[in-house]
Structure 1
Amino acid sequence: MSTAADRKLQTRADYRHFLAIPTRWMDNDIYGHVNNVNYYSYFDTAVNRYLIDAGVLDIHGGEVVGFVVETQCQYFAPIAFPDTVHAGIRVTQLGNRSVRYEVGLFRNDDDTPAAAGHFVHVYVDRASGRPVAIPDNTRAALEKLLVP
């Protein structure tokens, strides 16, 4: 997403999977809204929860893990405690060793995102830190989120 006009084109229907994340009192900053640093945490939480629930991410013992190598976020409207964030995720690029997720953060029942962005995982061998092919079971889980 590159402009506010793009935001108007995005709705909840454009995302393949959602995770509801309640905001916390401590998420609000001095300006009375959720501080920007928390938005990246919502991205990470939504994607990794999906991978864990799909049975393709073992955060403690998995031999292959995804490292975030790129991230970006645009902010369109404030979120504040006690809102619930509905993090929508989709995959827009699925390569041999990397995947690009796009995440829309929807405030409560809003149909357009309060924020939207992306991040890229490169899959690596946990022991060596070297890039590896995305495992077949992980690829199958990611394909369920793929949009044209």
Structure 2
Amino acid sequence: MVGFMVTNQCTFHTPVSFPQIPVATLAVEKVGHSSVHYRLALFPPKPTKETPSVSHWDLSDGFFFGHPKLAHFASLACTTGSSVHVFVNPATSKPLGLPEDFRRGLLRLMSPAPG
């Protein structure tokens, strides 16, 4: 199985320049039969006067869809984007269903654990 990036979109909001190192985030938005839709964003490394502090977010812990801290996700990001990957048989280029363990792992990233 091989994954092809079939769509890619990026929207620029505010500049980031060398030597700044932005915080990159990735979220699984949708899991299909043979495809995965991702959302991506870059956040400024340090708050500026134009953007409220992101430092109180511990982005490394992650947030699930609907979390109140995600209400201003796009307005705080320097860049937002999306990407769709389709997984295919390399010999035929025909879409293949995602392996069940991979699918389960992706689905766990989409919603909090019960309990």
Counterpart-to-counterpart distance in 2, 1:113 and 1:78: 10
What is the correspondence of 1:34-45 to structure 2 with a 5 Å cutoff? none
The unaligned stretches of length 5 or more in structure 1 are 1-63
* 1:127 correspondence with 2:91: yes
Report the AA paired with residue 126 of structure 1: P
Q: Which residue number in structure 1 is paired with residue 45 of structure 2?
A: 108
Q: Note the alpha carbon deviations across 1:29-74, whole angstroms, 9 max, x for none.
A: xxxxxxxxxxxxxxxxxxxxxxxxxxxxxxxxxxx12111111111
**Matched pairs, number:** 85
1:138 deviates by 1.5
Report the AA paired with residue 110 of structure 2: L
> Alignment RMSD, CA only?
1.8
Q: Is the 8 A contact 1:101 1:120 kept in 2?
A: yes
Counterpart-to-counterpart distance in 1, 2:46 and 2:93: 41
Q: Is the 8 A contact 1:106 1:115 kept in 2?
A: yes
* Greater radius of gyration (CA): 2
Report the AA paired with residue 38 of structure 2: Y
The unaligned stretches of length 5 or more in structure 2 are 48-53, 55-75
1:146 deviates by 1.6
Q: Which residue number in structure 2 is paired with residue 75 of structure 1?
A: 12
Of the two structures, which has the highest relative contact order with CA contacts closer than 8 Å and spacing of 6 or more?
2
Alpha-carbon distance change, 81 to 126 in structure 1, aligned in 2, over 3 angstroms = same
1:87 deviates by 1.2
Report the AA paired with residue 77 of structure 1: T
| Residue from 118, 133, 136 that aligns with 2:82 | 118
Identity %: 33
Q: Which residue number in structure 2 is paired with residue 96 of structure 1?
A: 33
Q: Which runs of 4+ in 1 moved over 6 A?
A: none
